Amino acid sequence: MVIGHGMVGARFVEEVRRRDPDGERVTLTVLGAESRPAYNRVLLSAVLAGGLRPAMVTLPVVDGVDLHTGVAATALDRTARVVHADDGTVHPYDELVLATGCRAWLPPVDGLADPGAPEVPAPGVSLFRDLDDCGRILDAAVPGARIAVVGGGLLGVEAARGLAGRGVAVTLVHPRTHLMERQLDAGAGEVLATALRGLGVDVRCGVGAKAWDPETGLDCDDGSRIAADHVVVAAGVRANTGLAADAGLAVDRAVLVDDRLATDDGRVHALGDCAQHAGAPGGLVQSGWEQAAVLADLLTGTDPAARYRGTRPVTRLKARGIDLAALGDPTAGDEELRVSDPRRGRYGVLALRDDRVVGAVLMGLPDAAAMITELYDSGAPAPSDRLALLLGRALPGETSPATDPVRMPGSAVVCRCNSVTKNALVTAWRAGAHDVDALSRRTRAATGCGSCRDVVCGIRDWLADIDPPQESAA
């Protein structure tokens, strides 16, 4: 039994059926509160920017699943091992998986919330969490509109950039000293702010929202007032733990789980944003996908020794015209290199320990980002010329397999937005997808932030050389 059919719940179902395609070992029942099919939330910023249509972010349907969309779980009876739903149905389970995700947080700013419901946005205010939110924002984002974005984390920056590209006058307010402070240092944050300003976004750091009035605009705590017709709030999230807490499961910021993704009730498991594990960085779907694979191994019996040991975090900003990657902990090295070229939108920090990459922040350095990310993921030794690596100019004999299709392992993830591997691209090629657009349509690679398109092109060229399409006989 799975509660939640978002990105992680859907991935878990897919992983189970990959191991047990005929349902001989596991019968799957899924409750999804949203009425629409599962979709890729990572790509919502691309929908907001106009790069993708909403239908293009829908995830593939998995066969052999008893799926109930538009049905929310309301109570969990662990003694009887049943789940009660809001449509009156009762669902028994042997093993229960919580994949309830998280909800957008609406900060306590006067005027942002509906007076009778503190978690519901007031008229003229939108959260940025799901496709319905996207629709409301797009309705307000007519050319010439004035929109204030509250929150300068990853989602806030992506929203601001996407709206600016639609001809909207955007002001981004962020109470911290620099943007994306969870991933970036002050230097990188300032280079990012400069890049956004060059793209038409009015960036104001160290400024918090104080009150919203649709007649007058958004008042800030520095005494300024932003003329705005609409407010988009991207101020963080909170895990959906109510069901677990009401059932007596151990909950802190999220539902506590061990390396088997089990709660303190061994028959109840949790994945993704609703789960709290010491090795899982918050807010990254990558963690939930890795957890889904481990739990699928365990519950299908494919690998009883499988354990989730944590995720090596990699964050990519999905904003047109800005190439930004942050990975690991840039403060954890015993060796550090740093370059700063703010006028050209370039900034890089590379941290190494024992010749291995342990963290990096890379802006405006796409070649370096590809190579360094591969080194970080694989744990391989870094090239001896660290500066050349940081600038994306490592010597041919020292380059990583990141952008070399010949040396790239089949399991290497080419497109992080859609979790597309090199093997998936090879399979699509052999099935008849013989150009980049066809490969993208078949696998969804390069349909998100677009940063992997050059790598996809390289794999396509390599495949054309080693496995050319067969011309049909005349």
Shared domain check, 93 and 36: yes
Contact 254, 101 (CB under 8 A): no
Q: What is the pLDDT of residues 200-210, one digit of tens each?
A: 999 999 999 99
Shared domain check, 224 and 159: yes
306 found inside a domain? no
Range of the domain at 161: 113-235
Confidence at residue 471, expressed as pLDDT on a 0 to 100 scale: 61
Confidence at residue 282, expressed as pLDDT on a 0 to 100 scale: 82
310 found inside a domain? no
Confidence at residue 306, expressed as pLDDT on a 0 to 100 scale: 98
Phi, psi of 8 (to 5 degrees): -80, -45
Q: How far is CA 263 from the centre of its chain?
A: 24
318 found inside a domain? no
Q: How far is CA 353 from the centre of its chain?
A: 27
We report the CATH number of the domain holding residue 448 as 1.10.10.1100
Shared domain check, 274 and 131: no
Whole-number Å distance between alpha carbons of 281 and 286: 9
Confidence at residue 403, expressed as pLDDT on a 0 to 100 scale: 59
Residue 472, C-beta contacts closer than 8 angstroms, at least 6 positions apart = none
Shared domain check, 226 and 134: yes
Shared domain check, 126 and 217: yes
Q: What is the pLDDT of residues 209-246, one digit of tens each?
A: 999 999 999 999 999 999 999 999 999 999 999 999 99
Q: What is the pLDDT of residues 322-373, one digit of tens each?
A: 999 999 999 999 999 999 999 899 999 999 999 999 999 999 998 899 889 8
445 found inside a domain? yes
State the burial class of residue 434 (Cβ atoms within 10 Å of its Cβ: 0-12, 13-18, 19+).
Answer: middle
Q: What is the pLDDT of residues 33-53, one digit of tens each?
A: 999 999 989 889 989 999 888
Shared domain check, 172 and 269: no
Q: Which of 128, 127, 165, 136 is nearest to 41 (CA)?
A: 128
- The pTM of the full predicted model, rounded to 2 decimals, is 0.89
Shared domain check, 130 and 92: no
Shared domain check, 184 and 126: yes
Q: What is the pLDDT of residues 62-96, one digit of tens each?
A: 999 999 999 999 999 999 999 999 999 999 999 99
We report the CATH number of the domain holding residue 19 as 3.50.50.60
Structure tokens at 409: 């392992």
Confidence at residue 118, expressed as pLDDT on a 0 to 100 scale: 86
Contact 378, 349 (CB under 8 A): no
Q: What is the pLDDT of residues 379-413, one digit of tens each?
A: 889 999 999 999 988 654 555 555 578 878 787 88
Whole-number Å distance between alpha carbons of 248 and 320: 45
Q: How many independent structural domains does the chain possess?
A: 4
423 found inside a domain? yes
Quote the percentage of the chain above a pLDDT of 90.
77
**Mean pLDDT to the nearest integer, 146-156:** 98
Structure tokens at 16: 């189970």
Name which of 125-129, 188-192, 466-470 the model is least confident about. 466-470
Shared domain check, 148 and 40: no
Whole-number Å distance between alpha carbons of 259 and 410: 27
Confidence at residue 400, expressed as pLDDT on a 0 to 100 scale: 52
We report the CATH number of the domain holding residue 385 as 3.30.390.30
Shared domain check, 274 and 212: no
462 found inside a domain? yes
Last residue of a domain, one of 235, 259, 282: 235
Confidence at residue 444, expressed as pLDDT on a 0 to 100 scale: 81
Last residue of a domain, one of 235, 259, 287: 235
* Residue 352: CB atoms within 10 Å: 22
Q: What is the pLDDT of residues 12-38, one digit of tens each?
A: 999 999 999 999 999 999 999 999 999
* Residue 374: CB atoms within 10 Å: 22
Shared domain check, 269 and 226: no
Shared domain check, 245 and 227: no
Category of 34 on φ-ψ map: left (φ > 0), alpha (ψ -120 to 50) or beta:
beta
